[in-house]
Structure 1
Amino acid sequence: MREPDNVFHLAIPCRDLDEAQEFYVTRLGAKLARRYADRITLDFFGDQVVCHLTDKIDPRPEMYPRHFGVTFRHKDDWDRLVRLAQARELEFFQEPMRRFEGLIEEHWTFMLIDPSNNLLEFKYYLDPRMMY
């Protein structure tokens, strides 16, 4: 089981480090932890995302099976991120919407696409037991 002081790590492909830093740090609000010639390391909502420089970029990303993101415990946090993404004109892959309405799995979701075609999903479940 993950302890609260441990951090999840995810590495993703990136075609341009300046572009990735602009998207994740300046526009989305992640914190830059380190930058090297071939990667940037980010504090992404408390976890670690590393954008590795590569020319292997998915030209036509699809929602499934590959995306990542954050499931928020509080709706206010999800709402705040929606407003930030809209205000900063981030590119939505999927507009904010409600899924599975009326079921225990009911949740709010939206997806962003970064400059390297990585898909980011952000969710909030009405029933916190459905977060996992």
Structure 2
Amino acid sequence: MRQTNKVFHLAIPCKDLDETVNFYEKLGCQLARRYSDRVTFDFFGDQVVCHLSPENIDKHPTMYPRHFGVTFLDKEEYNQTLELATSQELPFFKKPTVRFEGKREEHMTFFLVDPANNLLEFKYYHDASMAY
């Protein structure tokens, strides 16, 4: 279970700092720092650092095995993020769907793709105990 005195950190490649900042700010993330070779965001309470590394961009991303994102414990926050992504016309990699329908681990999910083809998943479990 998450403890409030810890912040998860993830570093990912990006190909252009300006378009990266534009995407993540439209998603509602706060820009924390910017340098000539990276940008750091408050990504829903955790830290995502996008390192300028155009030679490391996945040209043909797939959802599995590599993606990252947020598991919401509040359905309204999930819905607000989905509405924001839609209204900001952020690119969907996979439109909203329900996985494992009828099972305890049933959850709502959608995937976005950032400008460097990093895949972001957002999901909400109807049974919060399934988040871990």
Q: Secondary structure at the match of 1:20?
A: helix
Q: Secondary structure at the match of 2:117?
A: coil
In 1, Cα distance between equivalents of 2:115 and 2:13: 10
Query: CA 1:101–1:71 in structure 2 vs 1: closer, same or farther (change >3 Å)?
Result: same
Show structure 2 runs of 5+ residues with no match: none
Aligned to 2:17: 17
Aligned to 1:130: 130
Q: Deviations over 1:79-103 (max 9, x none)?
A: 1111111111110000001111100
Q: Deviations over 1:8-47 (max 9, x none)?
A: 000000000001000001x111001100000000000000
Question: What TM-score, normalized by structure 2, do the two folds share?
Answer: 0.97
Q: Deviations over 1:85-129 (max 9, x none)?
A: 111111000000111110001000000000000000000000001
| Matching residue's letter, 2:117 | N
Aligned to 1:116: 116
The count of corresponding residues between Structure 1 and Structure 2 is 131
Aligned to 1:64: 64
Task: Using the TM superposition, give the Cα deviation of residue 3 of structure 1 relative to its aligned residue in structure 2, in angstroms.
Answer: 2.9
Q: Secondary structure at the match of 1:79?
A: helix
Aligned to 2:42: 43
Aligned to 1:75: 75
Any runs of at least 4 consecutive aligned residues in structure 1 with deviations exceeding 2 A, and if so which? Answer: none
In 2, Cα distance between equivalents of 1:41 and 1:4: 20
In 1, Cα distance between equivalents of 2:67 and 2:129: 22
Show structure 1 runs of 5+ residues with no match: none
| Matching residue's letter, 1:115 | P
Task: Using the TM superposition, give the Cα deviation of residue 2 of structure 1 relative to its aligned residue in structure 2, in angstroms.
Answer: 5.2
